[in-house]
Amino acid sequence: MTNPHDIRGTDDAAKLRASTDPEENPMIGSTADLTTAVDTALPDDAAPAIESLGRGELLRRRFLRNRNAWVGMIVFVVLIVMAIVGPIVYQYEPFERDLRNALTGPSAYHWFGVNENGLDIFARTMQGLRISLVIGIGTALLTAFLALVVGIVAGYVSHKGKWGALADGALVNLINLFLVVPSILLLMLFSPALQRASWLWMIPLLALFAWMLTARVLRAMTQQLVRTEYVEAARFMGVHPIITMTRHIIPNVASWIIIDTTLGVSAAILGETGLSFIGFGIQYPQVSLGTVLQDYNISAPYTWIPPAAVLAALVISINLMGEALRDALDPTSGSSRL
Amino acid sequence: MSEPILSVRDLSVTFPSEYGTVHAVQNLSYEVHKGEALAIVGESGSGKSVSSLAVMGLLPRTATITGGIEMMGQDLFAMDDRQLSKLRGNTISMVFQDPLSALTPVFRVGQQIAEVVRIHHPETSAKQAEKRAVELLEAVGIPEPMRRANQYPHEYSGGMRQRAMIAMAIANEPELIIADEPTTALDVTIQAQVMDLLKSAQEMIGAATVLITHDMGVVAGFADRVLVMKDSRMVELGAVDDIFYTPQEDYTRNLLAAVPRVDAGESGRSRSVAGAALQKLAEPGDDGQEIAPREERPIVLEVEELHKVYPITKGAIVRRKVGEQRAVDGISFDIRQGECLALVGESGCGKTTTLMEIMQLRTPQQGVIRIDGTETGSLSRKERAALRSDVTMVFQDPMASLDPRMPIADIIKEPMRVQGYSAERMNERVDWLLSMVGLLPEHAARFPTEFSGGQRQRVGVARALACDPKLIILDEPTSALDVTVQAGVLAMLADLRARLGVSFLFVSHDLSVVRHISDRIAVMQRGRIVELGETEDVFTDPQHPYSRELLSAVPIPDPEVARTRRREAIDRSAFDGADKTASSPDPTA
């Protein structure tokens, strides 16, 4: 049955008639002069203008057609600019105490107000946004890398005889092991110790407990790709397995990885702020959105609404972009329709 | 003539897309009368499926439909979904292309047929409906219908699934059956059976039928009238004999000519284009060289007593062997330089297993494979990699065999890169290879998705040719293509063989395809080669009963011949049910 989305190549018949009708084309299949044979066989450029859209261009169009994508992008860019510029132009430092104005609301000097310890909330929110962004993006990238390596290797070797199946089994059990380990307890155990060295240790620590599900999905996708004829063709050509993985498999799962990494950023930010909020994440002398929220005073809403709003805006904007990206990459989703 | 059951007037369907509006169907008008079989013939993308989906009311929401469709005097466009649902399955029923995806895998086949009965006749009890399902299965010729009704779709073979689909389609004695490429996914022998069954089922219940297909050969024995479509428009509409014997339009003539024929007779008289082109090539001396007789040419591939046995195991923890599946059961053949051997057989007969054993270039379970005199088992890793350039493969599905993320040039360069060609030489060769397979060198920078199926298969051939192979293994290279495209690809392959002197191992399930391209034919059944001989000998005087069966299954695009060949028929008494007395004599008897 013809899928209506696949309708293309209707001009093929005309070309074929030219190339298969002996009356129109007496040269067919003859061993005569090559160039004439080619010219008559394909009288015209094979694909007319309708096929000339590249994949990237198509993606860009679909992405930009989505209104949510625009909202997400604008909010995300505004937040990044604020995180970069905010601490530079603002007069207070995140740990500068102004005890005289403790627990006062927003004013011309303290834009978001001051908490009960005399710390300026805007300065802390902006600094926290910086840290949260770095941790979020770093964790997502590291997670994607770990998942890619484990998932693709496991998926690729699983068809390669007895030893391959054994290696695949070992990797799957490793994934399962990490899935059943109580990650939150381990994070709470290791985080304060590693914090003493550097706050950047948060990135590998969070990534270590986030890669498993992505890896499982990638393993399944690779197993499917390994069975396709083009991967088989590469095997019959004698292409090295590692080259096959990088040349054939990774590009074909790339779109999924991109979506997963994008959505992983917001997941990592939420994980980090959550840990920081209960006191096991980012600690003095650094501040994250979670630590800012930790200093809440329920009776003074200005102490918790601004950082919470920034956090929500950040996560929602990333999710909006991720969803739009998924719609753009997935031909069966709504955005492929006009 | 009686009132038309279905009349389509001035139907146009358009889809919005990234590339502007796609006109899937334009100004199509036709009528189907009671008991009549109309065939809509056209290539993929000609809009034939879309037009019938419009009749069923199954087009996606984005489609814009204009025109009118009337079903027994009722305007289909004026109905809402609920009214349409009442029509579907009861008055109109559909047989889909892929019987595996058309049946729900989680329900038993009997239940699914019973469901169709009960939806439209809620007064039937569940028990009666299931009994009816068994009767229907019996009617369509499924052996042991009681047991089979309790099985799941995956336990059925492709042909049986399509039979079950037909049983479902005729369950409520509909006025109109739409069959959308019902046999494209099936082997030739099964195709013949299913088409015969469909025809007799249609005649029995007197339903109007719309058959959608790209193959003129299938149409000849089935249709009363034929509608030819091209590029979303109707080209020609007429009675089947008129279309086949006196086609008015060039396009219809081309479609007819593209059908490979088994009955084409001796050389030169073939009406088929591919055949004519190939015959011309087959004459030696075209390029001024005399071809040495077969016995004097060197052997390229030699297979001796090849066996491949898969154990059948049972038990989850302790696996024990309960039996074995002899996929390849001791086959031997050889291919000389410049020769084309066709390996023909149904799916599941071990063709693909044989190919895989050869392509592995390793020691087979049992038997010997020699390529150019070297035994594959004795190769070192390095030698094996070098030998990969001598034996290459063209895959069945041109959509799946090219990496969609790589431009054509990179795809063709891949095997050369493995063999360590220099960049300059690779670029030269890509241009040469593309022109060799009838594409333009400018195509090198494009991606596979920008090409049609036939062009992609040409790219696949170019890749196989990249390192000057001695032997190319062609695994059903044309079975995924339209008939017209198939003729072009076959002509190109024959041309390449004549020009480059490569040997082919051509695997196919369809004898008519290999008639003009192969020198010798090996007919394979259940892992054994039952007949091996010169092409002409096999066609004129097949020795083995299975070869004869294969030959007779090939559809012949000649209505008169096709009508006389019908064998399979529906079991009328079973359809009428045990409680009613069978009034008409059993046609199968």
Report the residue of chain B nearest A9, measured CA to CA: B452
Rounded to a whole number of angstroms, the distance from the CA of A199 to the nearest CA of chain B is 40
Q: Using CA atoms, how far apart are residues B549 and B543, in angstroms rounded to an integer?
A: 11
* Chain A residues near residue B250 by CB distance under 8 angstroms: 17, 21
In a domain, B84, yes or no: yes
Q: What is the DSSP letter of B264?
A: -
Residue B405, pLDDT score:
80
Q: What is the mean pLDDT of residues B270-290?
A: 46
In a domain, B324, yes or no: no
CA dihedral (A79, A84, A140, A228) positive or negative: positive
Provide the strand spans (E) within B77-207. Answer: 92-95, 176-180
Range of the domain at B45: 4-259+568-576
Residue A113, pLDDT score:
82
- Whether residue B375 sits in one domain with residue B289: yes
In a domain, B563, yes or no: no
- Read off the pLDDT band of A72 (50, 70, 90): very high
Q: Residue A45 pLDDT > 70, yes or no?
A: no
- Whether residue A32 sits in one domain with residue A125: no
Q: Residue B291 pLDDT > 80, yes or no?
A: no
- Whether residue A41 sits in one domain with residue A165: no
Residue A79, pLDDT score:
92
Do B174 and B86 contact (CB within 8 A), yes or no? Answer: no
Residue B264, pLDDT score:
55
Q: Using CA atoms, how far apart are residues B543 and B181, in angstroms rounded to an integer?
A: 33
Q: A327-331, B104-108, B189-193: which has the highest mean pLDDT?
A: B104-108
- Read off the pLDDT band of A187 (50, 70, 90): confident
Q: Residue A198 pLDDT > 70, yes or no?
A: yes
Last residue within a domain, chosen from A12, A35, A51: A51
| Neighbour-count burial of B347, counting CB atoms closer than 10 A to its CB (0-12 exposed, 13-18 middle, 19+ buried) | middle
* Chain A residues near residue B45 by CB distance under 8 angstroms: 2, 6-10, 12
Provide the strand spans (E) within B495-546. Answer: 503-508, 520-525, 528-534
Q: List Cα–Cα distances, B105 to B98, B134, B169, in angstroms.
A: 13, 18, 18
- Whether residue B122 sits in one domain with residue B9: yes
Rounded to a whole number of angstroms, the distance from the CA of B564 to the nearest CA of chain A is 30
* Chain A residues near residue B251 by CB distance under 8 angstroms: 13, 17
> Are A238 and B384 an interchain contact pair (Cβ–Cβ within 8 Å)?
yes
Q: Residue A51 pLDDT > 50, yes or no?
A: no
Closest CB to B400 among A16, A229, A236: A229
> Are A21 and B257 an interchain contact pair (Cβ–Cβ within 8 Å)?
yes
- Whether residue A10 sits in one domain with residue A132: no
Last residue within a domain, chosen from B467, B502, B518: B467
- Choose the mutation target among B383, B452, B474, B489 for the interface with A, i.e. most A CBs under 10 Å: B452
Across chain A, mean pLDDT equals 78
CA dihedral (B142, B143, B149, B151) positive or negative: negative
- Whether residue B436 sits in one domain with residue B384: no
Residue A276, pLDDT score:
86
Q: Using CA atoms, how far apart are residues B566 and B572, in angstroms rounded to an integer?
A: 16
- Whether residue A74 sits in one domain with residue A40: no
Q: Using CA atoms, how far apart are residues A238 and B466, in angstroms rounded to an integer?
A: 13
Q: Residue B529 pLDDT > 70, yes or no?
A: yes
Largest CA distance in chain A: 99
Q: Using CA atoms, how far apart are residues B162 and B438, in angstroms rounded to an integer?
A: 38
In a domain, B420, yes or no: yes
Do B230 and B197 contact (CB within 8 A), yes or no? Answer: no
Higher pLDDT, B279 or B228: B228
* Chain A residues near residue B24 by CB distance under 8 angstroms: 4, 7
- Whether residue B379 sits in one domain with residue B350: yes
- Whether residue A42 sits in one domain with residue A109: no
Q: Quick: pLDDT tens for A116-137.
A: 888 888 888 898 898 889 999 9
CATH number at residue B31: 3.40.50.300
Report the residue of chain A nearest B444, measured CA to CA: A46
- Whether residue A214 sits in one domain with residue A116: yes
- Whether residue B233 sits in one domain with residue B222: yes
* Chain A residues near residue B50 by CB distance under 8 angstroms: 2, 4, 7
In a domain, B322, yes or no: no
- Whether residue B371 sits in one domain with residue B405: no
Q: Residue A22 pLDDT > 70, yes or no?
A: no
> Using alpha carbons only, what angle is made at residue A294 by residues A292 and A300, rounded to the nearest 5 degrees?
85
Q: Residue B64 pLDDT > 90, yes or no?
A: no
For residue A335, give the amino acid letter: S
- Read off the pLDDT band of A76 (50, 70, 90): very high
Q: Quick: pLDDT tens for A227-245.
A: 888 888 888 888 888 888 8
Residue A312, pLDDT score:
92
Tokens of B260: 């490979």
> How many domains is chain B partitioned into structurally?
3
Rounded to a whole number of angstroms, the distance from the CA of A258 to the nearest CA of chain B is 16
Higher pLDDT, A142 or B444: A142
Q: Residue B338 pLDDT > 90, yes or no?
A: no
Answer left, alpha or beta for residue B334, where phi above 0 means left and psi between -120 and 50 means alpha.
Answer: beta
* Chain B residues near residue A61 by CB distance under 8 angstroms: 18
- Whether residue B163 sits in one domain with residue B107: yes
Do A190 and A205 contact (CB within 8 A), yes or no? Answer: yes
Closest CB to B400 among A7, A20, A230: A230
Rounded to a whole number of angstroms, the distance from the CA of A117 to the nearest CA of chain B is 57
Residue A7, pLDDT score:
35
Q: Quick: pLDDT tens for B207-235.
A: 888 988 887 778 888 888 989 888 888 88
Residue A143, pLDDT score:
94
Q: What is the mean pLDDT of residues A79-105?
A: 84
User: Could you give the ipTM of this predicted complex?
Assistant: 0.71
For residue A16, give the amino acid letter: L
* Chain B residues near residue A229 by CB distance under 8 angstroms: 395-397, 400-401
Q: List Cα–Cα distances, B311 to A303, B325, B356, in angstroms.
A: 71, 6, 17
Residue A3, pLDDT score:
39
Tell me if chain A has a CB within 8 Å of the CB of B359.
yes
CATH number at residue A244: 1.10.3720.10
Across chain B, mean pLDDT equals 81
- Whether residue A14 sits in one domain with residue A129: no
Do B26 and B188 contact (CB within 8 A), yes or no? Answer: no
- Whether residue B117 sits in one domain with residue B58: yes
Q: Quick: pLDDT tens for B186-210.
A: 777 778 888 888 888 888 888 888 9
Residue B557, pLDDT score:
75
- Whether residue A84 sits in one domain with residue A36: no
Residue B511, pLDDT score:
79
- Read off the pLDDT band of B316 (50, 70, 90): low
Q: Residue B33 pLDDT > 50, yes or no?
A: yes
- Whether residue A192 sits in one domain with residue A87: yes
Q: What is the mean pLDDT of residues B9-26?
A: 81
Q: Quick: pLDDT tens for A138-153.
A: 999 999 999 999 999 9
Q: Residue B362 pLDDT > 90, yes or no?
A: no
- Read off the pLDDT band of A219 (50, 70, 90): very high
> Are B254 and A20 an interchain contact pair (Cβ–Cβ within 8 Å)?
yes
- Whether residue A272 sits in one domain with residue A308: yes
- Whether residue B164 sits in one domain with residue B133: yes
Higher pLDDT, A257 or A336: A257
Q: What is the mean pLDDT of residues B557-566?
A: 74
Q: What is the mean pLDDT of residues B396-420?
A: 86
In a domain, B589, yes or no: no
- Whether residue A85 sits in one domain with residue A47: no
Q: Residue B348 pLDDT > 60, yes or no?
A: yes
Q: Residue B503 pLDDT > 70, yes or no?
A: yes
Closest CB to A16 among B47, B48, B485: B485
Q: Residue B66 pLDDT > 80, yes or no?
A: yes
Return the percentage of chain B with pLDDT > 70, whole number. 90
Do B557 and B247 contact (CB within 8 A), yes or no? Answer: no
Q: Quick: pLDDT tens for B531-554.
A: 888 888 888 888 888 888 888 877
- Whether residue B506 sits in one domain with residue B463: no
Residue A50, pLDDT score:
40
Last residue within a domain, chosen from B433, B467, B501: B467
- Read off the pLDDT band of B254 (50, 70, 90): confident
| Neighbour-count burial of B299, counting CB atoms closer than 10 A to its CB (0-12 exposed, 13-18 middle, 19+ buried) | middle
Its pTM surpasses 0.80: no
Residue A74, pLDDT score:
94
In a domain, B442, yes or no: yes
Cis previous bond, B585, omega within 30:
no
Tell me if chain A has a CB within 8 Å of the CB of B230.
yes
Chain A, chain B: beta-carbon pairs less than 8 Å apart: 194
In a domain, B559, yes or no: no
- Whether residue A35 sits in one domain with residue A147: no
- Whether residue B239 sits in one domain with residue B383: no
Write the secondary structure of chain A as one string of H (helix), E (strand) and C (coil): CCCHHHCCCCCHHHHHHHHHCCCCCCCCCCCCCHHHHHHHHCCCCCCCHHHCCCHHHHHHHHHHHCHHHHHHHHHHHHHHHHHHHHHHHCCCCCCCECHHHCCECCCCCCCCCECCCCEEHHHHHHHHHHHHHHHHHHHHHHHHHHHHHHHHHHHHHCCCHHHHHHHHHHHHHHHHHHHHCCHHHHHHHHHHHHHCCCHHHHHHHHHHCCCHHHHHHHHHHHHHHHCCHHHHHHHHHCCCHHHHHHHHHHHHHHHHHHHHHHHHHHHHHHHHHHHHHCCCCCCCCCCCHHHHHHCCCCCCHHHCHHHHHHHHHHHHHHHHHHHHHHHHHCCCCHHHCC
Q: What is the mean pLDDT of residues B471-498?
A: 84
Q: Residue B321 pLDDT > 90, yes or no?
A: no
> Are B440 and A46 an interchain contact pair (Cβ–Cβ within 8 Å)?
yes
> Are A19 and B274 an interchain contact pair (Cβ–Cβ within 8 Å)?
no
Do B8 and B28 contact (CB within 8 A), yes or no? Answer: yes
Neighbours of B101 (CB within 10 A): 13
Write the secondary structure of A76-105 as one string of H (helix), E (strand) and C (coil): HHHHHHHHHHHHHHCCCCCCCECHHHCCEC
Residue A316, pLDDT score:
93
> How many domains is chain A partitioned into structurally?
2
- Read off the pLDDT band of A55 (50, 70, 90): low
- Whether residue B506 sits in one domain with residue B457: no
Range of the domain at A37: 4-51
